[in-house]
Amino acid sequence: METNNVAPIREVKVNLMFAAKSQPISYGDFATRLEMPKKGLNRGLEHDLCRSLAEVTDQCIERGLPLFPLMVVRKDTGMPGRGVDEALVAAGIATKAELADPKKRAEVISLEQERVRQYCQLAANDEKLVVRLLLPK
């Protein structure tokens, strides 16, 4: 029997908002927060986590929100995986050429992470901003 380890999207969003209030969180630690196995994250679970984050990313783009999933990063680099590059381009935040330059990519991601933190600060005083993120697709 195959087990579906994809985290419920609402749970992913709530945890992203919580994580976004401070510093980026590693994929492994985020998986633990979602009660997905952290140790030895296998390709299947890694894929499930990335699929959940991609769905939230799509919703952020559709709603004109900051890209909350950029707060989940690789432990070894402190940066999100390359999968976010497509979202940065789709959201009009950066071009492919900008993202090809590692220094510029880091700058773009850092600015978007700051935009996420600012959104969370505003959302602390405005329930409508929280609802805007948490609404189902």
pLDDT tens string for the chain (137 positions)? 234 445 567 777 777 777 667 789 988 888 888 877 655 555 545 667 888 899 889 999 999 999 999 999 999 999 999 889 999 999 999 999 999 999 999 999 999 999 999 888 888 888 887 777 777 76
Look at residue 52 in the predicted model and tell me its pLDDT: 86
User: pLDDT at position 5, please?
Assistant: 47
Do residues 19 and 71 make contact, with C-beta atoms less than 8 angstroms apart?
A: yes
- The model's pTM is 0.82
Indicate if the alpha-carbon torsion angle 44, 47, 53, 56 is positive or negative.
negative
How many CB atoms lie under 10 A from the CB of residue 3?
7
Q: Are 135 and 128 in contact (CB under 8 A)?
A: no
What is each CA distance from 8 to 14, 27, 37, 53, in whole angstroms?
10, 16, 15, 10
